[in-house]
Chain A
């Protein structure tokens, strides 16, 4: 216990990791807040129109709402027809330039934000077709992300490993551990325990924080709507609600952070350099993540990048199904079949074996310091 407390003190106070942790949480918060603030990828008018209608009609679809929205659709399409008619009239010389300009300006005012209205209609039609709630799915799209790897989280985990273990290895302090009474079993298991716990803790804090920010500042609702409400999961047939999907994905990413933390410990203890640990960990995450991004088999490989960017696990229509995207045919596995769980178990076992090996836990006797 004393060793564990000492290591915690060393990491958070002496090595000032508490500041890094706070900075990570703040940065992640700012990042998700700014993404949510500009979440609607529309021009100003369209964004205002979308906000207006989504706020007005959110909730259960009722007859009244359907009638009102249908009326809005008719009105808007009527304005478009009127615009066309005026343009034709002007072309044949039935109305003057001034009248044309005035009437066109009036109609433009009435039809402004057409893109926002169309986006709202997309949400409305999905809700009507599936007898669901009308809810703004854009905050969910932001929360699920574009499927990329979160650099801040990756950096935080590797920095933790560097601050707790590699820095000592680099300076030679850790050589003493082989001569100390608690230098092997207790010290190393405490260090690894801290890495595992705080990698998971940081990730959970980030994901819970993101959810909280979306809920408090951006009225995130539709928690019980199905997963396919989010754009990225439009083709998913997983029987999950949005909140369940978010929890599952967060859990997988958390597992990814823990896995990366353990891998970084092995890398750090082999190369004994903070810089190289950071570099190798980074390329171990990013290079396979990029090279294999369109390769379906990557979900069957025990890669940290697959766990850190797990959206593909839930976006397929069915096992081994095809998902349309960017003009390419992408093969996405329906996940967490027994096979994948076994593969990850083997990978984790390999990492633990490597940890035992690099720390010589089983065969080196304590050397007495004379």
Chain B
């Protein structure tokens, strides 16, 4: 089976290269059978990558240590679920997963857009196959998942990194790869639009689902990564501005800008060049993120270590950027806006402002990430860019962005928003004041946190005011009840209200983030019977126990929690020692959550006489962060819920080279 997987990867590489060549040849020579062949190559490469993926998964589940990769990332004591997840724990498997997802998405793109975007499809197929070929090049010649174990086959494997043995870490990488691969599809069609000289909005309309869904799944991946860091690393936070975290945040920011900016192109034919720039930048940042994660250039808690892969990604990244910029320059005349901005206070201007903020934030994260490398290359000086830089630069921009989320939907398109629009601002204004006052009354004194509360009130006021207005009008016109009218309003404009719900979710995410500067911490070493105090909480240390299980030994401590003197529950923080990885103990934190704050306890040390060291932290509003993610998901789901629509062939009058 391993030789079958290896062979499938090798043949898939040549199939993709042939397919890309056939696609390019077909479109240049106007030969439809060549194009048809290239489409067959898309299906074929997906089939071959599926064979390879199944073969590698079988090797993991069978603990086939004749493969070096399986030996390095699994062991006999590992549960089947984690053995399956070990597939993407290392470089080789994660590249295979990425390639497989990208190849699967290429099939879907072909199925869904072949008839709707016939002139772009061969070009997009070419770009997609070149991308899959790049991954297959790495999988065949640089980072081989089916490389045999050198020498005698061992009886047991080295095992999975204990830090990765967490449910969040099982889903986190595939979510990121789905996001990355999904955003490759709009990138491919953007390049196709440039190459074919058809820069009208038809490709943007078709790519909307890909963009929004991929952006959302990438966001889920980021959030799951944050949750994993929160419960698994034991330092008490969920975001440290680590280069690897930044790697996924940068394309998410530019994709968010693209997702909003294309709406202006759809409606007004503006921002064409900007949109091309954004999607090319998004794809560049995806490659850049992968480059810094896998090159060993930047040290990080969860990088893949030093490897030769970095130079390949660097080369491909430079090539992608250069070709993208060249294509934009070549088609610059087709990318001129059809209309001009008519007012600084209009929907288009607000979208532009939001876009600029997203782009500036993405650039600041990019700069903070690469600056240590540039400083070392230029002067041999080791520089670290800490959270202070990122927070100082990004917090003000993020606050303005939150305000724009609230204000933008209230502004008129095309013309200046006049006095009639001012009345729509009344409710958001009052809810904004109420939000800020509520924050202050609940004891919050951090200015940024109070501003977040106020601006979140503005968002709530804007969304609810807009919805209430629409429902009231329909209620009056159709003489329906409020709820039936509300359901009809949402049903008839899912895209708009899905977006509104997603905006509400983002406001909740902001509220969650605003709690970060308000956290408090105490550490201490105590014996059973003694207590630690933090604010209104008292934690009484009860006992310590050694808990053995199949693949690990845990030191578990039990604490009884009192809030304002009343018992509220128990916390059981642990330190775990895994088989084959005794030198790498992990901290299993224990958390009591409610809507106001998390009480977070990590066991940082212990003695055989029962003494234990704890880190106790109160993290306000964290629950709102996770809740916001769910609400964004609800909004995105509503916005993307499929509607029946007739198949329309692409307009033949657009662009033209």
Q: Do they bind each other?
A: no
